[in-house]
Amino acid sequence: MKGTWMHWVKGIVTVRARGGELESFVNQALQGGLELWSIRRTSEGQLEFETTIGHFFRLRPYLKRTGCRIHVTDRNGLPFWGLKVRRRIFFGVGLLLFFVGLYLLSSLVWNVQVNGNIRISDEQILKAAEAEGIHQLQWSFKLDDPAVLSKRIAARLPDASWVGVEKKGTSIVINIVESTKPDQGPLLSPRHLIATDDAVITEIQADTGRPVVKRNMRVKKGDILISGWLGDETNMQTVVAKGKVRGIVWHEYDIVSPLTEKVKVYTGLSTTKWHVVAGGRALQVSGFGKTPYSEYEVVQREEQLTWHGIKLPFGRMKESVLEVRLDERTLTKEEAVTKGIQQAKADLMTKAGSDAVIVAEKLLHEKTDNGKVYLKVLLEVEQSIVTEMPIVSTQGE
């Protein structure tokens, strides 16, 4: 057994012994429980062996008994190192300081990184992290467990749905997953919904706000239908009233409908102009000269050359010039009335909205005078009757 590390810690002494009875010295020392190893004879007949420092000092009685003399040739191990270091104190202190410094500098947080944020600003996250003690030049042993830290930071950032804190050597990486938020609608100021016309309610649906009217109730123009005020006088809250209110509205129309009608008629006369078309440009090739008609219509027809189903950028264009004549036609009274009512309905639909339904129509008055029919029509329409009225704070804040 060569000196093990335990021997090295205790300190190994290499001893040379001479004279006397060397063999019996070895035997007695072993009997006494001393530990000797690597025993060898040198060329001069001396005995060389190794032992620990403690055992070295216990050799003396056996030496006396056997008449041997010893001297130490080599020293090895930790205690002797210690002596050496004590001699070079500044070197030892430097060595120690180096390791202490290395440990301390590597246990500092040198760098805080933030990943994965889009809407939340870096400053906001770093501020939350700072509140939990994560900042530059912080001792990393002062910080809590990353799992605990990430939970606490997540609690400080309501817009983040997940926060992960990761320690990578001397840097801390904060990973953020932002919560997705629905798009916010445009901001609306508190309002009531009021009636656009005098009407009888047929349907009311309040999404927000308090419905004030009921079905089959009569309302006047400007009456509140859905109120933006919630609660009583003491605890009042204003909201943006939303909803759908439909009602039956009466519209009165004065219509003047002529008994004659102008009609376009083709006379049958026409001329033709031919064009050659190449790449979007047309070149007239025939039918030159002034158009001989005072009233006419032009009809164009284009033909493109194709080859095996592929359209080529060449073709021809036929331009027909057709003569027209304006004739006047006399209408019967019934025809004039229907036409007038039709015009009124079309006008009404543009005003009342596309979802309006005409429930009933009533001809109140009819008069024929100067080649015209004068009508008075009452139309009963079911339509949306809401319009917005902003709530102005009356409490004078």
Partner 1 sequence: MRRMNRRLQKWTANLLELPQDVVYDLPRLTMIGDRQLYIENHRGVLHFSSDRLRLALSKGELEVTGEDLVIRTIWTEEVFIEGVIKHIEVR
Per CB under 8 A, residues contacting partner 1 are: 1-2, 22-24, 26-27, 30-31, 36-41, 43, 45, 47, 49
Work out how close the CB of 111 gets to partner 1 at its nearest, in angstroms, rounded to a whole number: 55
Q: Which is nearer to partner 1, 51 or 227 (CB)?
A: 51
Q: How far is the CB of 58 from partner 1 (least distance, A)?
A: 15
Distance (Å, rounded) from C-alpha 349 to C-alpha 26?
128
Alpha-helical (H) ranges within 118-227 are 122-131, 146-156
**Token pair belonging to 154:** 């997540």
Least Å from the CB of residue 50 to partner 1: 10
Rounded CA separation 70/374 (Å): 150
Residue 295 is encoded by which pair of tokens?
């009233």
**Shortest distance in whole angstroms from residue 11 CB to partner 1:** 18
Output 46 or 138, the one with its CB closest to partner 1.
46
d(CA 73, CA 49): 10
Q: Which of residues 40 and 281 has its CB atom nearest to partner 1 in the complex? A: 40
Of 203, 199, 202, 247, residue with least CA distance to 220: 199
Strand partners, 48: 16, 40
What is the CA 389 to chain-centroid distance, rounded? 35
Q: Which is nearer to partner 1, 43 or 237 (CB)?
A: 43
Residue 140 structure tokens? 């990393």
| Closest alpha carbon to 112 in 162, 179, 176 | 176
**Residues with Cβ within 8 Å of residue 56, at least 6 apart in sequence:** 13, 15, 72
Q: Which is nearer to partner 1, 24 or 140 (CB)?
A: 24
- Least separation, in Å, of the C-beta of 13 and partner 1? 16
CB of 19 to partner 1, least distance (A): 15
Nearer to partner 1, 36 or 108 (CB): 36
- Least distance CB 61 / partner 1 (angstroms): 17
Alpha-carbon distance of 108 to 37, in angstroms, equals 49
Whether residue 176 contacts residue 115, with contact meaning beta carbons closer than 8 Å, is answered with yes
CB of 12 to partner 1, least distance (A): 14
Give whichever of 22 and 176 is closer to partner 1, judged by the CB atom: 22
User: Looking at beta carbons only, is 67 or 313 nearer to partner 1?
Assistant: 67
Q: Is 308 left (phi over 0), alpha (psi -120 to 50) or beta?
A: left
